[in-house]
Structures are given as C-alpha cells and as structure tokens.
Amino acid sequence: MDKIKNLERLIAESSAITVAVHTHPDGDALGSGLALAGFLRDCLGKDAVLALPDSQPQSLSFLIEENASIPVLVHTENPVETERRILASSLVICIDLNAFDRTAGLREALAASTAPKVLIDHHLNPDTESFDLVFSTIESSSACEVLFNLLMKTDYLAGSASRLPRHCINALMTGLTTDTNNFANSVFPSTLEMASRLIEAGAERNRILNSLYNCYRENRIRLMGYMLGENLTITPDGVACMILDKAIQERFGFIRGEAEGFVNMPLAIREVRMSILLTEDDGLFRVSIRSKEGTSANTYAKEYFHGGGHELAAGGKLFFPGDIPEAGDAQAYILNTSSKFFRR
Ligand SMILES: [Mn+2]
C-alpha cells in the first residue's frame, strides 16, 4: 500500500493522536510538531496534542503563543499527565528525531505505547525498528520540509499549501528558517520551492525573522561578544573552540538556549575547518559541532563525544569525571582529539 495512503488510514482510524519531538526543542522540532498537530486538529478535526520532553527556549516562546489553540504537554512540568496521554493515544507520531532515545523523559511511555507509531524525520540512521511507518529523508533541510512534502500529498490538501491554516504555514516557515540557519546551510532545490510556496500561501516571513533574530535579551549579545572576543581559541589544525563554563554562565546570567548559533560564527574565519561549543551542565558539557565541507562533524562527534548528527552539524556530550578528570581539562581534550582526528 502507498505509504501516504497508509498514513492517512492510520490518522483516519485514530481519534487521540500525540505528536512528540526531541529534547531541548529547537525551531524545527517545535515548528514541525505544531504544524502537524495544527493540521490534525484544524483540518482533520482530530484530538491532537504536542508532547515536549522539556520546554522551549525563551526565544521560541512566540511560536507556542501563536499556536495557542494547540494543547502542549511538557514532560518536565507535568510528567504524569504527559505519560498518561501518550499511553492513551491511538496513534503516536514522532517528528524531527531518529530514535526514542532523543526524547528523554518521553522515552519510556513512547516505547511502552501499543499504538501504531510513525516517524517523520531528516536525521541519519533512523531507528526504523521502533516504528510502523517511517518517512525519513536525509537529503532534506528540516523535519518541516519532510512534513510539508507529506502534507502536500494528502487528500485534504491535494497540493495546495494555502488550504493550511495560517499558524501552520508560519510554524513550517519558522522551522525551515532555523534549521537552514536562515537559508545558509542544507538548502536543496526542494527547500527553496517550499519557501516559495509558503510565502505564496501567506507565510509572514518578516514577522517571523523579527521574532527569531531581533528579540534577544541584551545578555546574549554581551555573552556573544565575550565568547568570540575573549574565550575563543583556535588549534593549529583549524579547530575553533569556545567553552561556556558555569562561571561564565553565571557572570552573563545565561539561560539555556541563549548560545544558539554561536557555534557557527568561527566558521567565518578562513583557516577554521571545524567549530566546537562546549556548554557546561552538571557533570558534563553539551557539545555542539559545525564543520566546513570536507570535514565530518558527525564522525568527530561519534568518535569522541558519544554523539552524532549530520555531516556538517553534529552534537554530543563530554562527561567529567569520565571522559576527562574535571571541567578544566576540556580544552586539552579538544586539542588532543582534534589533532588525532586530523592526523588519521
Ligand atoms: Mn531538524
């Protein structure tokens, strides 16, 4: 049976549907999750909710506010109700993640659910075993793009983006914009075609850009200046490294998500081949890695940071004690592992 028809049948047979996304939700996770839940509710009349492992960063609160008609359950705030809802759903759709592992507190309930499970994603190595139906396109800018192409093929939309409610159109445009770093990375012909069709259908791009990029707290810009001006180091191999430790976080009143995008900036330096941002958490650093064509951020993340991701954009973790004795040894670890990495 045609996969789209299969998805439409699963949706038609379900009343309570839960859409789930990855932990520390970004613009693509929230945008695709809200657009899908919105489509299911407003276009198909389903009882659809969005389940988040934890809440969104402040900079994306505008998306939740603009989609206020969609019920959102946050596991860290309301674990019992969130898990109960997942277990009571007759269909579960995971979007913008490749495995249950990426959903932190939602993981157990997702794995325990006996409902049919659908995956819609663009990450490498989807865990196809855990799902009944998988729509995974690696050659795609974002989960929003994979979702958009699916939605366009449904009987309800029949190729017409303008039949989507405005809040869905804006949510899709938001994820498309953030996952491509405002159309700088991972842009395929289909990406620009989607953008064009969304704008034609009424996407409010100027307002979205303003909400995304011109509404930060002053702290973020001061912190950015400090990280690039004082903290940045560059190894002889062309690996740029910034370490946002607890002391710096305190000094700048840092809140989670506020360093979004910092890791891309050192790539602007000609000699830099790869850029790494370490953000200290309890007993570990969250590691974000970006690379230029010819260097695999994904391989480096896999080999040294228990992580992975896309070829030029990946992430992982660095534990202490464990990978390094203490937080202060992070810099030496980067120097060591990156020089090994480039001398293989
Ligand atoms: Mn994504």
Per-residue pLDDT of 127-149, as tens digits, reads 999 999 999 999 999 999 999 99
Centroid of ligand 1 to alpha carbon of 326 (angstroms): 32
Using the mean position of ligand 1's atoms as its centre, give its distance from the Cα of residue 238 in Å.
Answer: 27
CATH 3.10.310.30 fits 218-342, yes or no: yes
- Cα(68) to ligand 1 centroid in Å equals 22
d(CA 98, CA 143): 11
The CATH fold of domain 3-213: inorganic pyrophosphatase (n-terminal core) (3.90.1640)
Distance, CA 79 to ligand 1 centroid (Å)?
24
Distance 321 CA to ligand 1 centre (A): 31
Band (pLDDT 50/70/90 cuts) for residue 185 is confident
The pTM for the full model equals 0.88
Question: What are the residue ranges of CATH 3.90.1640.10 in the chain?
Answer: 3-213
- The C-alpha atoms of residue 77 and residue 58 are separated, in whole angstroms, by 16
Residue by residue, DSSP assigns 116-167 as: -EEEEE-SSS--GGG-SEEEE-SSSS-HHHHHHHHHHTSTTTTT-GGGS-HH
pLDDT in tens, 282-312: 999 999 999 999 999 999 999 999 999 889 9
Torsion over CA: 178, 151, 70, 15 (sign):
negative
Å from CA of 176 to ligand 1 middle: 9
